[in-house]
Structure 1
Amino acid sequence: MKKQFNRMRQLANQTVGRAEKTEVLSDDLLQVGKRLDLVKQVTHSTHKKLAACLQGQQGAEEREKKSKKLPLTILAQCMVEGAAVLGDDSLLGKMLNLCGETEEKLAQELIQFEFQIEKDVVEPLYELAEVDIPNIQKQRKHLAKLVLDMDSARTRLQTALTTTRLQTVLSTTRLQTVLTTTRLQAVFRFKVISYFLFQDQLSADMYNFVAKEIDYANYFQTLIEIQAEYHRKSLEILQSVLPTIKAHQEAWVEKPSYGKALEEHLTISSREIAFPIEACVTMLLECGMQEEGLFRVAPSASKLKKLKASLDCGVMDVQEYSADPHAIAGALKSYLRELPEPLMTSELYEDWIQASNIQDMDKRLQALLAACEKLPTDNFNNFRYLIKFLAKLGDYQDSNKMTPGNMAIVLGPNLLWTHSNESGNMTEMMTTVSLQIVGIIEPIIQHSDWFFPGDIEFNLTGCYGSPVHTNHNSNYSSMPSPDMDQSERKLPHDHGRRPLSVATDNMMLEFYKKDG
């Protein structure tokens, strides 16, 4: 207690300038000390945030136990279990199984990554922030105490020496003072030696800290290197599974057909005629050839939506729609209208329009035939199929009131349109275009046997256009060879907003005239 009191008194005397004060550290070491405090603050904060980034719990827990607690592992297990429920026969089941296996591999990479981060970065940062730097700071505080003790011993010694000089008479008191002075000199020498020894040790530790800054900085380089390696391995896992996933997707037959490119749909389904076209045509041949206003009368919106959805998934109840041919006709029109590229192709748009402007009918027919022959194989086959059906529908025009001209009016704008963004009176321009398209479609229907000689089998699949594969066990098509001759294929042009079929409204008078 007395020693502590003397230290406090010495500290107070130094503070008010009444006692000699020894500097604890040199100016250089004081700067090192300030930097050391900043480094501790930064590394402590970085360690805390980095540890929070680790998904696995820190500590000496077994790797397998850590892995089971990872969100990725839980997700992988959920996907694999879901795949087992759905079965390997479904596309979704296959995708879930592949993705589950992939997520499990990613989880293993993640746990390995976190182990390395914990070992090579987190733990060294903790050691630096919570052990090494605090030890140096404790040494600084201890050195400050040694300095205070040394200064206190010096002060007591100086006081004793002064007292000895004042006592000139040999006496018992003087003898005691000399003995005290001798003892204080010994204590002071011990304090000085202790101070310098400890100061040297602290200085060495502080300079070592400065020298090792490159080692401390290397922790962060290691962090980036481990992250880079982890992401490289994760990317390799993902890239290795992507081709398999894409192959399953591309081989799956049951893909939506509405809004999809004709070439893509035919390639995937291994068909010659688009499924919605064949399905609707074969059903109409059975139940709609004599229906008045076919393709002109609008069907129920809800029933049309349902039919399109059923065609999209390759399932159709023939009996349900046999009593509503207008819904079937509407579904066929919708398919043609929603094609990204018109069936008669945008590339040949000018050829068709120029042919329609020819007044001489024989020359017009020759020009139209030339344009037909330029169509890609897929477009040609489906266009021929559709025209042959429309010609057959025209045989019943006395009942259904659908002459070739009327069919051209309601179907023409769904077979050919332009992606042009030209400004001007849109209504007038669209009306003109619709009239030109009628001048294209009507003569082709009228002379269908001249354009497309020979008979055609409409029900190619033998069951009202139902898909070749009717169960999930057979939902994969053989993938086309990369070396397949694609000379007849044409990539679809950019999607554009097609003009509305104003012909139905603007030429209704002509329609009724032709109906008589």
Structure 2
Amino acid sequence: MISAADLERLAEIELKEEEEVEEGERQSYSAERPAPTPPQSGVGPDPSHPYYDVARHGILQVTGDDHYGRKLIIFSSCCMPPSYQLNHHRLLEYLKYTLDQYVEMDYTVVYFHYGLKSSNKPSLKWLQEAYNEFGRKYKKNLKALYVVHPTNFIRIVWNIFKPFISHKFGKKLTYVNYLAELRGHLDYEQLVIPADVLRHDERLRAAQKGGPPLLVKSPPPRPPLPTQQFGVSLQYIREKNRDAIIPPVVFQTVSYLKENGLKTEGIFRRSARVQTIKDVQKLYNLGKPVSFELYGDIHVPAVILKTFLRELPEPLLTFPLYSQVLDIIGVESSLRVSTCQRLVQSLPEHNFIVLKYLLSFLHMVTQESIVNKMSPSNLACVFGVNLLWPPRGAVAMSALAPINIFTEILVEHYDSIFNSRCPPGQVTP
């Protein structure tokens, strides 16, 4: 039987061989083609962060939800500095610290493998320790693991750990050879993809023979159907639905959840069957009736509501409010409620009314938090990035805290913040 030391040496050899091939491809490619522009991911973490020494490298990012309502967490190997500059035990603690904020809900992990070198790779012993550290609560709610740009090293590691990994966990793993393959699963435009990974993907496509061309032209977008509900503006929906103030998807999901979901433990934390979500979206977009009773899963309308918000061309809280919401972190605690009220009052009328209708319901959810375990803080963690994101690029990890604080205040202090107008068909509490 091969020893741990032999496995370590084998992994080292594989990495060095991959580095040599990569260096040759890089030199050849860079002479012919300029590098793509790196994405804008916002400012780095606050120096007061308990794991600032690790977080400052940008190895881990949390960027909202995937297409199926699951929190999206990204790990980028190319952001890892040489091993002598990074305490891998601290990295493991930081991983657990971050995941602990999300593992009570369903989540997805994207692992960008490119950039792992012999100089920055953790030992196989560390990898085994990390796998053992992540107990059932971490593995149970992980619904998908995408390994982007896999290499021989990945396959070696997988074979080493296969005896220790359950069959159920193994089914969650998907190898992704090119970034474009992620588009069917995730909101690609919201991903924080390091510039090095973008360049590597370009090189792979340039070297590809007989496959799809390097630059694939997207077909021109089709005009939306008159009955379209997802991916179109609030104004479009209102115009096409006889001036309905509350979008049908929001009204119907909220109404159903009020009647049937208020006492469901972990409501909004769970995903639903992927094909079911696609089917329901299609029904809505075709203007056909949707009966949630037929699906027998309370999480279907919950995911549909989050999906609707996430697919708006502009977030419900609007792009102009993004930078102002981020500033909430610097506002004194005693002034935060009035600051949130002022920002919300500045919204366009239609956005304000829809937001008030939604927050009235979320506040109602918290009234049953003893049973459903959804406090204002928990709801903020779920809804924050579905209510607000930047005009370009993804939500930076450093922006999550102010967005969640802002959303938590809206939920907890609903009565005082939304006291100027009453949503249609509702009586102010």
Q: Could you state the TM-score of these two structures normalised by the residue count of structure 2?
A: 0.44
Q: 1 or 2, which has the higher helix percentage?
A: 1
Task: Answer 1 or 2: higher relative contact order, Cα 8 Å, separation at least 6.
Answer: 2
